[in-house]
């Protein structure tokens, strides 16, 4: 049981709390599921990029999947070795590509023919060979929210099969490119196995057809995407997930790379906020809390559902309320029509499943400092990011006042 009241008193609110022990359990379960093969879990840093969280995964042997050079630098700082770092994303700048090549990371996941050309040119300038993988877009509907669907040709990610093949041939013929892997990631919060299996099968067939023309890859990168329970979703078991992927790899000597984010961190995290006021507009009742969309954007961005827990002495009947923050946007809500009892000033609202795509998507909108972050490990709490102050927010502007 997490002592939300004590932690809120000690560290103030709004506050992110991450249970690192839960992250360990999730990591171990997924890693074990792939034990029939060589595998590397490359934690998707974007899910929760706090350095202490990345370090926690580094200590367990995890690699890192990064989508900016900033994330690559975070991974290095947190102790992830270069040979376990992957750099993905549709829009890498020349400077980012240069730094990735110079850092000798495991590979760059290339997402277009144009990008492959830039990587080759920059590697040539540096007199280096860049290891690459191609992100294949298998045109499979992952059956998830459209904003987190990435494996259809309508989505900007990856390349179709025939472009991928051309890119491998080009890379194989280049003195500055070394094609070592193949990658797909069809979406996030996946709760159906079939699209994952079908994508893996398509991509594994491409590996075989490349083998036929003497292009031998080493890494089969299945992306992330494994869904978690926000509400009452039926989930894919890690065993079924791994088996479905491994079953497509018969006869292939490949190391599996998996890039989980949400699965490892979402349900380890809680966002804790204090009740400021209750108010009634006609029939509609609002609970106004001190956290806002600048702290946790998911409800505003995708109407995402998060379980809410009220920590209160109130024993009244529940009524349906909207839980909202102080930001000047009607989209600033955590839940709509949620059953809660009457609440008092300073009661706590705990938003569950907030450990992935929470703090990282935060902003300073309305000149609000971002929350503090704390880690729980072995029953002990420690600060892992200070609360932002007004001075932090104006630090990059204040010298320009005339």
Binding site for ligand PLP (CB under 6 A): 44, 47, 65, 88, 185, 188, 223-226, 259-263, 356
Q: How far is the CB of 230 from ligand PLP (least distance, A)?
A: 12
Question: Considering beta carbons, is residue 85 or 348 the nearer one to ligand PLP?
Answer: 85
DSSP structure class, residue 389: P
Q: Based on CB atoms, which residue is closest to ligand PLP, 8 or 47? A: 47
- Distance separating alpha carbons of residues 333 and 296, to the nearest angstrom: 9
Cα 72 to Cα 89: distance, rounded to the nearest angstrom = 12
What is the torsional sign of CA 86, 89, 90, 91? negative
Query: Cis link prior to 76 (omega < 30° from 0)?
Result: no
Query: Which among 284, 266, 372 has a CA at the least distance from the CA of 330?
Result: 284
Looking at the Cβ atoms of 155 and 312, the one nearer to ligand PLP is: 155
Catalytic residue status for 328? yes
- Quick one: residue 158, left, alpha or beta (phi over 0 = left, psi -120 to 50 = alpha)? left
Compute the least distance from the CB of residue 51 to ligand PLP, in Å.
Answer: 18
Quickly tell me which residue has 């989980």 as its tokens: 260
Shortest distance, CB of residue 179 to ligand PLP, whole angstroms?
Answer: 18
**Rounded distance, CA 229 to CA 158, Å?**
28
Helices (H), 126-229: 161-172, 193-212
Please identify which of the residues 42, 66, 258, 328 carries the catalytic annotation.
328
- If the CB atoms of residues 234 and 330 are measured against ligand PLP, the closer one turns out to be 234
Phi and psi, residue 149, nearest 5°: -95, 130
Q: Please name every residue paired with 187 in a beta bridge, in sequence order, or none if there are none.
A: 149
List CB contacts of 278: < 8 A, sequence separation 6 or more: 285, 286, 287, 288, 321, 342, 343
Distance CA 113, CA 145 (A): 28
- Beta carbon of residue 306, minimum distance to ligand PLP (angstroms, whole number): 16
Closest distance of CB 285 from ligand PLP, Å = 34
The distance of closest approach from Cβ of residue 135 to ligand PLP in the complex, given in angstroms and rounded to an integer, is 7
For residues 260 and 325, which CB has a smaller minimum distance to ligand PLP in the complex?
260
d(CA 126, CA 120): 10
Q: Which CB, 71 or 332, lies closer to ligand PLP? A: 71
Q: Which residues are catalytic?
A: 328
């Amino acid at each position: 049981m997490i002592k939300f009241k004590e932690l809120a008193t000690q560290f103030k609110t709004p506050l992110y709390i991450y249970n690192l022990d839960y992250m360990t359990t999730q990591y171990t379960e997924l890693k074990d599921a792939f034990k029939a093969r060589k595998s590397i879990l490359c934690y998707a840093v974007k899910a929760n990029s706090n350095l202490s969280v990345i370090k926690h995964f580094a200590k367990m042997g995890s690699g890192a999947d990064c989508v900016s050079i900033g994330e690559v630098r975070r991974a290095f700082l947190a102790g992830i070795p270069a040979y376990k770092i992957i750099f993905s994303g549709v829009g890498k700048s020349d400077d980012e590509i240069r730094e990735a090549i110079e850092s000798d990371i495991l590979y760059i996941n290339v997402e277009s023919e144009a990008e492959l050309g830039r990587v080759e040119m920059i590697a040539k300038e540096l007199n280096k060979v860049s290891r690459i993988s191609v992100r294949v877009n298998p045109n499979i509907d992952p059956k998830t929210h459209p904003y987190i669907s990435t494996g259809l040709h309508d989505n900007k990610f990856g390349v179709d099969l025939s472009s991928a093949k051309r890119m491998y041939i080009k890379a194989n013929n280049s003195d500055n490119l070394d094609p070592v892997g193949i990658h797909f990631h069809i979406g996030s919060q996946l709760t159906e196995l079939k699209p994952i299996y079908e994508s893996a099968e398509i991509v594994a067939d491409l590996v075989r057809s490349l083998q036929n023309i003497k292009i031998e890859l080493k890494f089969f990168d299945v992306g992330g995407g494994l869904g978690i329970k926000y509400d009452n979703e039926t989930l894919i078991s890690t065993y079924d997930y791994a088996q479905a992927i491994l079953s497509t790899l018969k006869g292939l000597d490949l190391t599996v790379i998996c890039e989980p984010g949400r699965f490892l961190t979402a349900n380890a995290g809680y966002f804790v906020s204090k009740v400021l006021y209750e108010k009634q507009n006609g029939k509609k009742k609002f609970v106004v809390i001190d956290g806002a969309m600048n702290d946790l954007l998911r409800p505003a961005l995708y109407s995402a559902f998060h379980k809410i827990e009220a920590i209160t002495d109130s024993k009244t009947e529940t009524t349906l309320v909207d839980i909202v923050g102080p930001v000047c946007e009607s989209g600033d809500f955590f839940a709509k029509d949620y059953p809660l009892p009457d609440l008092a000033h300073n009661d706590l609202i705990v938003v569950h499943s907030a450990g992935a795509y929470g703090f990282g998507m935060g902003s300073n909108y309305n000149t609000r400092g971002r929350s503090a972050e704390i880690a729980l490990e072995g029953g002990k709490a420690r600060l892992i990011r200070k609360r932002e102050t007004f001075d932090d927010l104006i630090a990059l502007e204040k010298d320009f006042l005339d």
